[in-house]
Amino acid sequence: MPELRKTPMLDQLLDGPFPSFVKEIKKGAEKNDACNDLLGQLELSYEEKITHWKHGGIVGVTGYGGGVIGRYSDVPDKFPGLTEFHTMRINQPAGWFYKTDRLRKLLDIWEKRGSGLTNFHGATGDIILLGTHTDQLQAVTDDLAREGWDLGGSGSDLRTPSACVGPGRCEWACIDTLDIVDTLTRRYQNELHRPMWPYKFKIKIAGCANDGVASKARADFSIIGTWKDNIQINRTEVVNYVNAGFDIIGQVVDKCPTKCISYNPVTKSLSIDNSNCVRCHNCINKMPKALRQGKITGATILIGGHAPILQSAFMSWVIVPFMEMKPPYDEVSELLEKIWEWWDENGKMRERVGELIYRLGMRSFLQATGLPAVPQMVLHPRTNPFYFWSKEEVNQ
Amino acid sequence: MVKTDFGPPKYLDMMSDLCKRNYGKWKYHEVLDTGTLVHVAESGEKLYTVRAATPRLMHVDTLRAFCDLADKYCGGFFRFTSRHSIEFLVEDEANIEPLKAELHAMGYTPGGVGNTISNMLHTQGWIHCHTPAIDASGIVKSVMDEVFEYYKEAKLPARLRLALACCLNMCGAVHCSDVAIVGVHRVPPKVDDEKISKMCEIPNVVAACPTRAIRPEPAKKSVVVNEERCMYCGNCYTMCPAMPIFDPKNDGAAIFVGGKVSDARHPAMFSKLAVPYIPNEPPRWPTLVKTVRLLIDVYAKDAKEGERYGEWINRIGWEKFFKVTGLPFTDKHIDDYIFSVPTFRSTATFKW
């Protein structure tokens, strides 16, 4: 085992109250040459203020078109352990729940066949295994498969879908986020593992309007739990909150975006005009013991979210105001498959579905999917007179 | 031949009997302190959650140590959040304090629940990515060390989501965070004609440019960049390795503020530019850290209870935001990209 790399700059990140990633790499460096070289290369990046990873490179494993990302050092002579240092994406269990005996098997395999460094988790939700040689990729995949761990997505495919904790540990799950993500992930293994689309496609599922998985910001297809009927009020608990000093006027009544909540300080009673409620969830967030969502639950489906690359950031927008989400979720699958077909047919290379809709218009999207135009899709109607009519709509 | 396409482990196999018994039947939850939640089920059963921020990048030995703690205190069950924090799912209330003490001894302080800074979402940076303008983990470590009190103690008006993306690809929800750091380049890509002719598909490179700054140069089987039009997004480099856009003298970080993903009170909002550029200063990025600290301190002092960062700015107005933070407003803050015009102020009602 060679001596540990000298890293005077990185060593300055060992101290302080937040856990140190440098300490983590050093744990690896004591046992593994690649981790030691990673320390060295990172120190070089800190000195020179530039990355030392080369641009991509295609690697893969039998039967899969994605899930593994090639990574090569641009200074392999200095850091031979990083000549090949590929990333593997492993599909996380829904809601990121783990049982230790199952996880330990994954950790043992990764220590034996890779750097032992991980991310829990990557931005899309996968377990990320950081750094192994090309000749180990198949063996890692096979060993993990024997223990029930499969690869996630990468490239122009369905990226690993993810969901919030949902009914596993949250009273605000209007839909069974975990079952939905698990069902869709299993149903679309081919789309997940074999890139064949214009670009990536992300699905994220949140149980309520708090959107704990940032589905509106990060997913092309966002499924967000909501309800249709009245918020349930527990009048005794309302009184308990008030008696405990909770500022019900300031934090609930005044913060209601549609001003549909009123409070009578004499009777200490709260009432909600549910017909004007937009289900933003603030009042429920603030008084979880007193207020509960309605009982007729389902999801709002939104489309098109992605980060600013390339035409500016898009936040997903409403395409289905309410969909019942009952197993086996065929309605959502039918919609997904129609969208994929239209996008695959019309999308340019590296065009996300939201960008395609921006280019061709919601009108084309609605025609392709058969969804009806409804006012819930927009903040307001257009302000210009420049719209299209089809030949069928005008007098010949 | 080992099987393929079988999907992730079934989540129910990763869940304790208590979680399975009360699946979908949770009644309410309470925040006990900044590191602890309790969820109460319709059945009356309680599940305690002890949360601690991790650095995301972890060696298997650290994860094994977490497994040991979960075996000892949680029947072998834990989970992670969407923001890289670990959550131990404790059934016996008596186990909470001993678990916290052991976590603390490992260097992991429980926190991030309620009106705090939860963990900082981030990307790979110089550790494992080929396009970053800044490091990720080193900046996260430096920022979190500086603002750790806001993670440990509930001193903020509302929750505050910090995030970092090391380039404009913005892996992660950086564009909808309360305070976000983004790696930026400031000079056009360098064109290597010889390599381009061998490595890159010219039409794809030309099409990759959102400002049409790239045109083909057939004589050289290469491309030419109109540097006046380039805004350094690096999308061409993603398509073509022979157009590197790195420049250690010019790369650095921008700070965006006021975004959120929740629809509570105000619908989700994008983060907006507060600081266009701060140079890379490894290993601890003092200027960047100081600026983030300032942005958080001013908000903590000025915002009303329950106001997220963006809601606070909406109330006081951007003109006042720049006044109270003392940050300079520049031509860089005024949008000149595709959707710019609706961001201009078409009213004479504003504050001095």
Report the alpha-carbon distance of residue B182 to residue B180 in Å, rounded.
Answer: 6
Cβ neighbours of A99 in B, within 8 Å: 13-15, 76-77
Q: Does B1 have pLDDT greater than 70? A: no
Give the least confident one: B116-130, B165-179, B236-250, B319-333: B165-179
Quote the pLDDT of residue A55.
Answer: 85
Q: Which domain holds residue B22?
A: 11-106
CB contact under 8 A, A210 and B79: no
Q: How far is CA B173 from CA A159, B41, B271, in A?
A: 16, 31, 10
Q: Give me the DSSP letters along A174-218.
A: SS-HHHHHHHHHHHTHHHHHS--SSS-B-EEEESSTT-TT-HHHH
Name the residue with higher pLDDT: A308 or B125: B125
Q: Residue written as tokens 């030691």?
A: A36
B305 and B156 housed in the same domain: yes
Question: Are B162 and B122 a contacting pair, CB within 8 Å?
Answer: no
B150: domain CATH number? 3.30.413.10
pLDDT of residue A375: 98
Nearest to B19 among A20, A168, A213 (CB): A168
Q: What is the mean pLDDT of residues A124-132?
A: 97
Percentage with pLDDT > 70 across chain A:
100
In CATH, what is the architecture of A232-292? Answer: 2-Layer Sandwich (3.30)
Q: Is residue A309 scored above 90 in pLDDT?
A: no
Write the burial class of residue B234 (CB in 10 Å: 0-12 exposed, 13-18 middle, 19+ buried).
buried
- How do strand B85-90 and strand B214-217 relate by DSSP bridges? unpaired
A210 touches A174 (CB < 8 A): no
CB atoms closer than 10 angstroms to residue B290: 12
Q: For the stretch A273-293, what's the b/e string if a residue is b when 16 or more beta carbons lie within 10 angstroms of its beta carbon?
A: eeeebebbbbbbbbbbbbbbb
Quick one: pLDDT at residue A151?
Answer: 98
Q: Which two tokens stand for residue A360?
A: 């061709």
Whether residue A123 and residue B141 make contact (CB cut-off 8 A), yes or no, is: no
Per-residue model confidence (pLDDT) at position B237: 94
Fold of A8-147: Alpha-Beta Plaits (3.30.70)
**Partners of residue A313 in chain B, C-beta under 8 Å:** 170, 175-176, 270
Look at residue A18 and give its three-state secondary structure: coil
**B44 and B86 housed in the same domain:** yes
- Show me where the domains of chain A are located: 8-147, 158-228+296-395, 232-292
Statement: residue A116 has pLDDT above 90: yes
Residue B152, token pair as written in the block: 């440990």
Q: List CB contacts (< 8 A) between A96 and chain B.
A: 79-82
The residues near A3 (Cβ < 8 Å, ≥ 6 apart) are none
State the architecture of A158-228+296-395 in CATH terms: 2-Layer Sandwich (3.30)
Rounded distance, CA A140 to CA B287, Å?
Answer: 42
- On the question of pLDDT at B172 being above 80, the answer is no
The reply to whether B120 falls in a domain is: no
Q: By the 8 A CB rule, do B111 and B96 touch? A: no
**Chain A environment of B259 (Cβ under 8 Å):** 217
Same domain (yes/no): B21, B63: yes
Could you tell me where the DSSP H helices lie in B106-212? 137-146, 148-152, 193-199, 202-208
Chain B interface, best mutation among A7, A9, A12, A13, by max B CB count within 10 A: A13
Give the pLDDT confidence of B22-62 residue by residue, as tens digits.
999 999 999 999 999 999 999 999 999 999 999 999 999 99
Half-sphere exposure of A66 (CA within 13 A, CB side): 25
Average pLDDT over residues A286-298: 97
The span from the first CA to the last CA of chain B, in angstroms, equals 72
Tell me how far CA of residue A210 lies from CA of A174, B29, B111, B287, in angstroms: 12, 15, 20, 33
Q: What is the pTM of this model?
A: 0.97
Residue B295 has pLDDT above 90, yes or no: yes
How would residue A1 be classed by pLDDT, with cut points 50, 70 and 90?
A: low
Q: What is the mean pLDDT of residues A115-144?
A: 97
* pLDDT digit string, tens, across residues B108-126: 999 999 999 999 999 999 9
Domain boundary, last residue among B178, B205, B239: B239
Number of domains in chain B: 3
For B60, the closest of A118, A123, A217 (CB atoms) is A118
User: Cβ separation of B4 and A95 shorter than 8 Å?
Assistant: no
Mean pLDDT, rounded, of chain B = 96
| Average pLDDT value for residue range A40-52 | 98
In this structure, of A302-311, B93-102, B175-184, B260-269, the range with the lowest mean pLDDT score is A302-311
Q: Residue A187: pLDDT above 80?
A: yes
A175 to chain B: closest CA residue:
B24
**A62 has a pLDDT exceeding 80:** yes
SS3 A94: helix
Mean pLDDT across A25-32: 97
Q: Is residue B233's pLDDT more than 80? A: yes
Could you tell me the sign of the dihedral formed by the alpha carbons of B119, B124, B127, B128, in that order?
positive
On the question of a cis peptide bond just before residue A257, with omega within 30 degrees of 0, the verdict is: no
| A63 burial type by CB count under 10 A (0-12 exposed, 13-18 middle, 19+ buried) | middle
Q: Do A93 and B62 touch (CB under 8 A)?
A: no
Predicted local distance difference test score (pLDDT) of residue B218:
95
- Are residues A118 and A149 in contact, defined by beta-carbon separation less than 8 angstroms? no
Judge whether B123 lies within some domain: no
Searching chain A, which residue's CA lies closest to the CA of residue B79?
A: A97
Query: Within 10 Å of residue A361's Cβ, how many Cβ atoms?
Result: 13
Domain-ending residue, one of B173, B208, B239 = B239
Tell me whether the CATH fold assigned to A8-147 matches the one assigned to A158-228+296-395.
no
Alpha-helix residue ranges (DSSP H) falling in A250-348:
282-286, 330-346
Helix extents (H) in chain B: 17-21, 60-73, 96-105, 137-146, 148-152, 193-199, 202-208, 235-239, 286-302, 309-316, 318-325
